[in-house]
């Protein structure tokens, strides 16, 4: 059970991790750079040479 909690924590950290490279352009349109957009967000563009998505 403890292993599952640790694995879940790592996955959450990786999903919420932002990239500093294209963050300014994404944030200027009131977005966030993430690996996956949440269900209430739209995918507006890409960040960090296409590795992340700009979600709004």
For 14-53, write each residue's pLDDT tens digit: 655 654 546 778 888 888 888 899 888 998 888 877 788 9
Backbone torsions φ then ψ of 4, nearest 5 degrees = -65, -40
SS3 call for 27: helix
- Report pLDDT for 1: 79
What is the domain count for the chain? 1
Residue with tokens 């694995």: 7
Indicate if the pLDDT at residue 56 is higher than 80. Answer: yes
Give the predicted TM-score (pTM) of the model.
0.54
- Report pLDDT for 19: 45
Q: Which domain holds residue 48?
A: 2-55
């Amino acid at each position: 059970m403890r292993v599952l909690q640790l694995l879940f924590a790592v996955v959450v950290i990786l999903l919420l991790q932002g990239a500093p490279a294209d963050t300014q352009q994404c944030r200027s349109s009131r977005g966030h750079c993430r690996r996956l957009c949440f269900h209430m967000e739209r995918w507006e563009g890409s960040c960090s040479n296409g590795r992340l998505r700009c979600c709004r």
